Structure 1
Amino acid sequence: MSKEMLNALDALETEKGIAKEIVIEALEAALVSAYKRNYSQAQNVEVEFDMKKGNIHVYAVKEVVEVVFDSRLEVSIEDAMDINKAYEIGDKIRFEVTPKDFGRIAAQTAKQVIMQRVREAERSIIYNEFVAYENDIMQGIVERQDNRYIYVNLGKIEAVLSKQEQIPNETYKAHDRIKVYVTKVENTSKGPQIFVSRSHPDLLKRLFEQEVPEIYDGTVEIVSIAREAGDRAKVAVMSRDANIDPVGTCVGPKGQRVQAIVNELKGENMDIVEWNEDPAVYIANALNPAQVVNVTFNEAQGSCVVVVPDYQLSLAIGKRGQNARLAAKLTGYKIDIKSESDMAALLDAQEEAGMEEAVDYAEAVEETLAIESEMNAEEVIENFEDLEDSAELDEAEELNSEVEENILNPEDAENMIELAEERDGIEE
């Protein structure tokens, strides 16, 4: 079977891309397993495949020992020295034990193991090939669908497109050619499994890279993408070359470049806006086609208030709030859109509320000062009364002492009487 085996290995390598070495290694392992299962002459066996002639040889490996306990694994030193006097205890000797009738069972076992190795090798090759396409775009053919997936043939393998990754309202028919974004490649026990998407924002990015050479080479860069698959998308772009218009480059002559992407996505509307380092300008661009009058930021909350003309309020918000929602996703800011009249009314209300608050505050301050002034006045009067009482009492005590002194001095009785009368008047 030498020539047939070699020819089969060559064909397998050519058609399946599986190296001969992988198949031969699987074949040797299969023959070892088949020999141990069907023959008992030896247990420690090795199989060699001759790459030039295609012949297979089976060898029993035995260890040189003094006393043999298991003839399938050991050989005595005497028998070893009969073969070659250089052998010593502990050496390994190979004896060819290739059976003449390897048999049908051995061949079937070898075939099963070989097919398993071949499948594993094919899976490994497919996985290594497609894992390089992870986070990239591929074109496939719709083959079939069930309740969970649409199966897309990518050549050597089927990819699965789940309902969550499909474009809403897009229909897929057998044999349709579609472009998909590879989100994940897994190497499972059943072989490689590839998950693809039609709604992922990066699908849009890869399509622009295919259609716009300036994006592919990095001259024009896609900064951000906000997408509601199947309906509308906004793409923010910037140019690293001051002489290149990023928006015009992406649109292309007569809109050919962006139209090709719109056609691939079955009519999904596309807004291409220019990125700007000034957040106010960037937000104004993101709300295109509406015009923006003013943008006020609240950096602490990561939000802003955008003022637009009254007649463009509905345009700025968009159908079901879509334009404002996509602009918020694109810029990363929470956007509150107000018309000029609504903003003026809000400012007037804030000003009026501020005036009322100021009046209330002034009245409260005035009332507080009045209470404090009244309390201070009462305290001053009480202090003065205390002082007067204290002064009169001191004067009465002084007169009383003078009277007492005159009482002790009988020589001045008349003066004593005057002082006593004056004293009595003060004490009363």
Structure 2
Amino acid sequence: MAELAVIGAGYVGLTSAACLARLGNSVVCVDNDPSKVDYLLAGEVGIAEPGLPELVREGLSSGKLTFTTSLDPLRGIGMVMLCLPTPMAADGHADLSVLESVLGSLGDLLGRDGVVVLKSTVPVGTAERAAELLCRADVQVVGNPEFLREGFAVEDFLHPDRIVVGAADQEAGDRVAALYASTGAPVLRTDPASAELAKYASNAFLAMKVSYVNVLAELCERLGAEVAEVAAVMGLDDRIGPAFLSPGPGWGGSCLPKDTSALLRTAEHAGIDFAMLRDAVRANARQQAVIVRKIRCAVTGSASGSLAGARIGLLGLTFKAGTGDLRHSPALAIADELARAGAVLTGYDPGVTGRDKVGPVTVAGDPTLVAKEADAIVVLTEWPEFRDLDWAQLAAVAARPVLVDTRNLLDARALAGTPFLRTGVGTGKPGEPHPR
């Protein structure tokens, strides 16, 4: 088993460190946030990721995992995995400043014939650039992109469907592939550039698929078709598959927005007109306006009706269920638009705790408070527990029984016996009260 360091204790870094320790490796995880490191050393995990707190405590107990704010313990180490943020810069490119800063500090620390593993999502050419920043001819840089879903990160790491290792040096690639040997996952060996591009290509394709189904949902509404039925037919085709065929308020999160933007900038730099991806990004921005118009119609009866002073309750604030991540959340983008239109917003999300406000939304600790005196309730995140709410009670405290279900989460059974007038996405049938 290997001895390695993981730099960065965010979603990817902490999951990677804890899971690599579970696989038997000796791991030191470095982060520059002292308070975060103190919490982690005490076995406290601030990330809402199923199974991760248990793995961290297990690693600490076994001695396979430790945390520090200092790079000094890395002196002489043979392998370092970089799990650092590469956010979207103002011009749409990936901001590599943190990554490059750390690389500049590693050259003097790595042991002879060391390996630097790029787990961060980085543009093509970063591995080559990293080698230059290290100023070490004996150190190899290997691309090893992550494919972790928030809410399923531990499961995805320990039971991956593929491992990508992009290495110019065979032996360095072998060392990285060996980290995952016990998972039994297929290992795809590529050059570094292909590994770097593969991550962007995967996320951009998923974004295009969601944009496609959202536009398809609007077409279904115009033609009197049901998007759920259309998507079910599509999903049974092995060439398409059912994943990412659920319409909603648009895609967001920490990955898809920045990765689609970075890939577009990369394509432009290479002289390629990636028109279909650019259109997918535009369609996603437009989807938020589509949802706001749908809410406006449900509340006022008109696409141009005024929302000034309307009390609207929001169920879901995170970008998807199963996480507390609010980054680039379409729910918050829609909330911002509603607030600009004069609406008064109260929201509830089981993944958001300890906060009184998120943007323009007053955060409630109970969904009943979201419904209280509301002119409409809007489901923006697909938390399964929303299906089991006491919808009759919510209707009783609401000012009006108006429900806009942007995730098509609720069916007639969930709302049976309530007066709610439900508006979904991609349904050709007008909203109507559910039977008592």
Bin for the TM-score computed over the shorter chain: under 0.3
Q: Which has the higher strand share?
A: 1
Greater RCO (CA < 8 Å, at least 6 residues apart): 2
- TM-score, length-scaled by structure 2: 0.21
Higher Rg of the two aligned structures: 1
Whose helix fraction is larger, Structure 1's or Structure 2's? 1
